């Protein structure tokens, strides 16, 4: 089956086309938050260059959070638009699980981290064994010090990935971070598709109307409003 997968939850925009577990094509841009202008043209380009059409896609996948509020919305809206009227299934993929998939080939603890500002990261924890990920912690928003404390309890080195890699590894005091090549720290739509394929096989699909996003915490605008109301 062919899956069209995408991720626009951070500064990287990435689109991939896969067939079962085989990567057919991937298009990634690391040029900042211009996803509203670039994501759909990237989809159109990858389909045209591979000689495929929307009708030939069996399922559509997108990371649905956490991440940039605007970026996550753009990715979800793009998949909804592509899937609309096709009666093809959609697959919701955790951004953090897709980032962890980048390092699935490396046995041990895998910790995806995304910069959530205010000295926090969006994070989760997985154990990788022989290329298979097992989730150890739900997607969460934690301070780096809280994450450091949590990871130190495992008493073993940890592999990190995601756009929060630098700020996290530089701030660790109790946890040993294994080095991760720069190219494996960014979102990859191929990893999104790999997670989506497993979810498809286990029946975890939704319709385009049912696809929803997960933010983990209120947006900046909501936080500002709540702070003002609290002061009042």
Q: Is the pLDDT of residue 17 over 90?
A: yes
Please check whether residue 211 is in contact with residue 64, taking contact to mean a CB–CB distance below 8 angstroms. yes
- How far apart CA 205 and CA 210 sit, in angstroms, is 9
SS3 content of the chain, % helix, strand, coil (to 5): 35, 30, 35
Strand order in the sheet with 22-29: 22-29, 13-19, 2-7, 59-63, 90-93
Please check whether residue 157 is in contact with residue 138, taking contact to mean a CB–CB distance below 8 angstroms. no
pLDDT digits (tens, 9 = 90+) for 101-140: 999 999 999 999 999 998 899 999 999 999 999 999 999 9
Q: Is the pLDDT of residue 69 over 60?
A: yes
> Residue 2 CB: number of other CB atoms within 10 A?
17
pTM of the predicted structure, to 2 decimals: 0.93
Sequence-separated contacts (24+) of 41-45 with Cβ below 8 Å: 42/6, 42/13, 42/15, 43/4, 43/6, 43/15, 43/78, 43/82
DSSP 84: T
pLDDT at 230: 67
pLDDT digits (tens, 9 = 90+) for 147-188: 999 999 999 999 999 999 999 999 999 999 999 999 999 999
Question: How would you write 180-231 as a 3-class SS string?
Answer: CCHHHCCCCHHHHHHHHHHHHHCCCCECCCCCCCCCCCCCHHHHHHHHHHHH
Percent of the chain with pLDDT over 70: 93
- How far apart CA 31 and CA 144 sit, in angstroms, is 26
pLDDT digits (tens, 9 = 90+) for 178-220: 999 999 999 999 999 999 999 999 999 999 999 999 998 765 5
Could you tell me the domains of the chain? Answer: 2-95+187-223 (3.30.420.40), 105-184 (3.30.420.40)
């Amino acid at each position: 089956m062919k899956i069209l997968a995408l991720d626009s939850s951070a500064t990287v925009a990435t689109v991939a086309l896969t067939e079962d577990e085989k990567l057919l094509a991937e298009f990634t841009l690391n040029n900042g938050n211009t996803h509203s202008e670039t994501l759909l043209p990237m989809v159109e380009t990858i389909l045209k260059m591979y000689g495929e059409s929307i009708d030939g896609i069996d399922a559509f996948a997108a990371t649905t959070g956490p991440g940039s509020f605007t970026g996550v919305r753009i990715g979800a809206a793009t998949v909804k638009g592509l899937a609309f009227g096709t009666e093809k299934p959609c697959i919701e993929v955790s951004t953090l699980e897709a980032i962890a998939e980048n390092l699935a080939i490396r046995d041990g603890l895998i910790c995806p981290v995304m910069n959530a500002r205010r000295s926090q990261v969006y994070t989760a924890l997985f154990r990788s064994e022989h290329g298979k990920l097992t989730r150890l912690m739900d997607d969460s928003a934690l301070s780096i010090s809280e994450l450091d404390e949590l990871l130190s309890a495992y008493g073993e080195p940890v592999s990190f990935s995601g756009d929060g890699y630098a700020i996290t590894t530089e701030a660790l005091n109790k946890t040993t971070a294994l080095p991760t090549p720069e190219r494996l720290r960014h979102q990859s739509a191929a990893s999104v598709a790999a997670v989506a394929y497993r979810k498809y096989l286990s029946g975890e699909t939704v319709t385009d109307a049912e696809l929803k996003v997960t933010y983990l915490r209120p947006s900046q605008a909501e936080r500002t409003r709540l702070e003002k109301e609290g002061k009042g």
